[in-house]
Every structure is written in structure tokens, then in C-alpha cells.
Structure 1
Amino acid sequence: MFRTTLVAATLVAAPWATAVAQLDYRNLDDERPVTTEDAYPIEQDALEAMFPLAWESDRGTGRLHLAPELMWGALRNAMVGLKLPLATRDGQEHRLAVGGPRAFALLNLNTESPTLPALALRGDVSMPVGNAAGSRALASLKGIATRSWGTWRAHLNGTRTFGRAADAPTVDAPARWVASLAVDHTFWRQSLLVIGEVAAQESLGGGPTGWLAGIGARWQVTPALVLDAGVYRRLSPVGPDLGLTLGASRTLGLGGLGRWGQR
């Protein structure tokens, strides 16, 4: 009797968990596969591990970046996380540079309505720990808006970092400000999302504005695994000549249906 009940409960619960996870490919993470992020957190009680890899070429010099990240859906409309920026050092030996660990939290302010887009606030703190970390903590604040039209969505992001360039890490240093606009399209049958964006930013030390353009895709491989890839390049004299991103997201735990159906 117990075995029959357990099997029945599993069969009932599995489609619900799958329904939640299968929409994870619509979740645009910070800087993956492009700079722009959407206004919704991950599902409440979900635990998600991410392994993003990025390569940049700037004036003939290439650098490899890795930033493993862990996120937790702390509340129905909020998530918290921690990422560790890593990179290969320039020079004769490809030594590993460890940037300051970055703690962050995202709070969704409202669900999208006919009159208002979905809005969210995100805060990041880069800590002075690591051989390539800054000398002091730096804080960033981001505003996010997402508007949907069927299978199409538009996203607007604006970020401001508070602190001095002299205190910034040498790996994954934040810009003084970043503004980006992105549009994505969902292919439901293929569990695939494609996105294009234009972004502008200024370095923490000041200087001319750099313009970037990028495209990317997210693909749901299994109910708990999403792969993403992107490419970007500069549109102005300031910025990387070319950048490539590749990543994987693994959902380790699932909560209830929550906001997933509204993404």
C-alpha cells in the first residue's frame, strides 16, 4: 500500500516539477548569455548552480574568465546568491587570479500588468578577498524592467556602482554605470530562447562611453539543465574586440509553481 501511494505521488508531482524547470531557459542571468538580466528571480526554495565561462580579446590580448555562482530562491519574489570571479593572469605563466567574491540579492517589485512592466532591484557587493580583489568593498545597484508580448520580451537594465577605481578588483571590475536594452524571443517547442542587446558603459575610473552589441541563446537540455552561449563585440573605440560566453545552469532543488508561469 505504501509503495503504491509513493508511486502515485511521484507520478503526480513529477509533471509539476518538470513544468517549473522547463521554463528556466527564459531566466536571463546577470551577464549570461548577454549583459541584460530579466526582472524575475528563480523559483522560491530553488537552488541553482551556474558555471559560466567567458573569453575576451582586447587589442590582441586574450583572457579567460570563470565565475561559478550559486543562487537560492529565498522568497517568492526574491533571490540571493554568491559568485566567485576567476581569470587567467596575463604574462608568461597563466596563473589563476581570484577576484573578490560577489554577494547579491534581487527583489522583484511587481508582476507584469497591462499598464506596468515587471520591475526589480538588484544589489551587489564585491568583497576585498582574493589575490586580484580590490582593497575595499564596492557596492552596485541595478534597476530592471521586463515587458512581454506573447513570445517576445523586452528588457531594460541600468546599473550604478559606488566606489573608487583604485579600490576595484583587477578581475571582473564593475563599471561606473551600465545601461542595456535587450529583446528576446522564445521558441516553445524547442525550449529555446534567443536574445539580442545593445549596451553602453563607462569604466569606474571615468573616460569615454563604450558601446557593445551582443547576441545569445539559452536552451533547456533537461528539466534541470540549461545551456547558454553568447557573442559580443564593441561598437566604439572603447571595449573588447570580441567576447564569447558559454555556460551551464543546474537546478539542484525546486519549489512550487510560483511566478514561473508568468515569465
Structure 2
Amino acid sequence: MPKTHPPKLSSVLPVLMVLGAVFPGARAAQAQVDYRNIDSGRPVRIGDATPTARRSLEVNLGNGRVQQLSQGRYRLQLEPRVTYGLLPRTEVSLRSPIFFNERALRPRAGVAGVGVGFEHQLRIESLHLPALAVGSELFVPTGPQALPPTYSVRGMMTRSFPVGRIHFNGAYGNFNVRTPVGFEKILPPIHGACSVAPTELAMTVRFACTPSSLLSAAVPGATQAHDRWLFGMAVDKSLPLRSTLLMADVFGQKYRSIGRPVDWTGEVGIRTQISRTIVFDAAFGRLFTGESRGTFLTFGTTISRALTL
């Protein structure tokens, strides 16, 4: 397989300018900074090292992802999420992905599971040192054929410069594969069968991703756990007078022991604050290597309110 390099950030600057022009009506607002907080998956995968502010409640109800699959198919996923700043520099979150598959798959729709997350900022950015944060999540799949729970841990670093900010993320976790009962052979995987949604490392990889050599040695119906990792970087540029943030990222993710190469993905996105409490975001992405090549679009809104529990 020929070696494929991730896209250069300089090649996506024209796209960022176009995205910025789509929102000419973004209001200039004093003391509005929510648009600068890049939560993981909102709208790009690589996030910043800044948790939700203490006693602040963020509700994400309109988060969606439309992904192009092979053979002219598309898939939709929605992900309601609630985040609360429980302690200083510490947030807790609860999310529940809802999927809508193409007609050929059963079930066509349902709740994928429930994820409970935690994030803590180890240090605030100073004149000489970057901001550092750590996070983790436990994801519990749902349904009669649900696989065992999975986990992920993540480290984040953010550094500010006069022209913008740069972010680095690294993550490690596990995923589960169940050997299908009564299988005779594994067909070559088509795009979409092995794809993982953008905001979780805790989703499972379907059996079509597993080489037949591994399946032949496995017990039908048995579940196998493997490890996975992710590493990526992002850059962003804020437009304070327009309460808008432009961003781009590139990241690689590896699912070990199933015979898959590293998946490289690039994204460009925008966050804009349309009122004191509402932020809109959108991003366009492309999966360049691996089994799940294709394009996708994400969109969503965040409602923030001060709340004391």
C-alpha cells in the first residue's frame, strides 16, 4: 500500500476563509469567550486543555455528523451531551450517541450507549509554559447484543501565540470485537463497516474489520479486547470582533491486533457565538487512509448557563 501523508495545514487555509465568510452576521460581544473553547469533537476531534468553567452548565442538543460511505450511502449520528464544571478546572460530562444506519443494516436506528467523562486541568497556561489537562471516559454500549464497556484516557496541551493557538492531544484506550456465530468467511470490508464516530475512542469495531486469520482462531460468539491509541494536533485563530474561531486539525488513530493501518484524518471547522449563551459550530473532514476513507460533516449548538448544584 503506498504511503499517504496527512494534509498540510497550509492547504486548508482557503477553506477556513470560506467557512468564516459563511457567518457574516456573527455578533461582536463583550465578555463572550465560549466560542474559543474547543471541546473534543466540537467541532473537530482535537480539543484544547481548558475544561468547562466551574458552575457552568453546557448542553449540546443539536450535535450531528453526516458521513459518506461506499456505494453512495450515507450515515447520520446525533450525540446529545451535557457538561458541568463541578470543581475548579474540573468538568464531568454525560453523552449518548444516537445512530441512523443505511437501509441495508439492522437495526436502522438506536442508542449506541452512554459515556461518562471527566476532565481536569493540571496547570493554567503561563508566560513560559503551556496549559496541560487530562481526561478519561467510560463508555457503556446498550442493546441486547451490546459489547462490554470500554475506557479511554487522554492528555491535552495548549499553547498560545500572537497569531493563534496550537493544541496537541494523545489518547489511549481499548475496544472490543465479537466473533460472529456461524460465519463461513469474511468479505472484504467496505467503507463504513469499520468507521468510528469522531467524538469517541470508545466505540467498537465491527467483525468485518477483523482478518479471517484471527477469526478462524477465535471461538464464535466470544469477545476479544484490544488496545488503541490516537495522536494529533490542531491550530486555531480567533476573530474577537466577530466572536468567531477558525480551526484545523490532523490526527492519526490505530486499532491494534486487527490488521488495520493507521487511520489519518484532517478537519477544518468554525465556532461562532450567536448570543450570550449559544454557540454554533460546524466542520468538514476527510479520512485519508485506512479502511474508512470518505468525507463527513459535523454540526452542533452549545447552550451555556451558570448553574449551582
The answer to whether TM tops 0.5 is yes
Matched ranges for 1:102-251 at <5 A: 102-130=115-143, 134-166=146-178, 172=197, 173=203, 176-203=228-255, 205-251=258-304
Q: 1:24 to 1:130 in 2, by over 3 A?
A: farther
Provide the C-alpha distance between the structure 2 equivalents of 1:174 and 1:161, rounded to a whole number of angstroms: 11
Residue 34 of structure 1 deviates from its aligned partner by: 0.7
CA contact (8 A) 1:86 1:171 kept: no
* Structure 1 residues not aligned, in runs of 5+: 1-17, 256-263
- Aligned twin of 1:258: none
The amino acid across from 1:180 in the alignment is G
Find the aligned partners of 2:45 and 2:265 in 1 and give their Cα distance: 10
1:137 and 1:56 map into 2 onto residues whose CA distance is 25
Kindly state the Cα deviation for residue 254 of structure 1 after the two structures are TM-superposed. Answer: 5.5
Contact 1:98/1:171 (8 A) holds in 2: no
Deviations 1:9-57 (A, max 9, x none): xxxxxxxxx855x100001011111111110111100111013110111
CA RMSD of aligned residues (A): 2.4
Contact 2:195–2:292 (CA under 8 A) maintained in structure 1: no
Kept in 1, the 8 Å contact 2:260–2:290? The answer is no
Any idea what the Cα deviations from partners look like across 1:239-258, whole Å, max 9, x if unmatched? Answer: 34101001000013258xxx
| 1:76, distance to aligned residue in structure 2 (A) | 1.2
- Calculate the TM-score normalised by the size of structure 2: 0.70
SS of 1:164's partner is strand
Deviation readout 1:45-91 (Å, 9 max, x if unpaired): 01110131101112233110100000000011100010001110232
Q: What is the rounded CA distance, in whole Å, between the counterparts of 1:137 and 1:91 in structure 2?
A: 27
Q: Give the TM-score taking structure 1 as reference length.
A: 0.82
Partner-residue secondary structure (3-state), 1:112: coil
Question: How many residue pairs were aligned?
Answer: 235
Please state whether the residue corresponding to 1:140 is helix, strand or coil. Answer: strand
Which residue is equivalent to 1:28? 38
Distance of 1:123 and 1:206 partners within structure 2: 26
DSSP-derived class of the 2:178 partner? helix
Query: In the alignment, residue 66 of structure 1 is paired with which amino acid?
Result: L
